[in-house]
Amino acid sequence: MKMKTLKYSRQRESIIEYLKDRTDHPTAEQVYQNVRIEYPNISLGTVYRNLGLLSDMGRVLKISCGDMAEHFDPNTHEHYHFICTDCNSVHDLEMESIDFINTLASKSFSGEIQGHTTYFYGKCKDCK
């Protein structure tokens, strides 16, 4: 993977700033709508380009929860996600690590297992 030198950009900075303390896993569209308040001329393309960069750099997580759009999570330390099957909201789950399931999986696979992604699902407290 080629790592090109990044230059500062106020737009990227604003995206990072917006994401920083979110725990609601916004989509690119939501990021766009919010960063737009500060930079009315920013374009959706720029938002996508930067979210892609940040995700490649490992500064944000991409979450594919099957609801068509990608969601983004600024929390990159180990944690899991819960997805409500009613309202499609995505919640953080700060639980003990279950990385040992990689070992369990290794026993049944000839490739090389490097990690896993687990999404828990059910009804969130507002929907049950």
Partner DNA sequence: CTGCATGCAAATCTTTTGCATAAGA
Partner DNA sequence: TCTTATGCAAAAGATTTGCATGCAG
Residue 54 sits at the vertex; the CA angle it makes with 30 and 20, to the nearest 5 degrees, is 55
Rounded to whole angstroms, what are the CA distances from 66 to 3, 11, 31, 119, 121? 30, 28, 19, 11, 12
Give the per-residue contact string, 62-101, with DNA (x = CB under 7 A; - = no): ------xxx-------------------------------
- Is 113 near a second copy (CB under 8 A)? yes
Give the per-residue contact string, 54-73, with a second copy (x = CB under 8 A; - = no): --------x-xxx---x---
Q: Select the residue interacting with a second copy from 48, 52, 75, 91 (CB under 8 A).
A: 91
Residue 57 near residue 95 (C-beta atoms within 8 A):
no
* Strand 71-73 versus strand 80-84 pairing type: unpaired
- Where along the sequence are the contacts to DNA (CB under 7 A)? 4-12, 27-29, 39, 41-46, 48-50, 52-53, 68-70
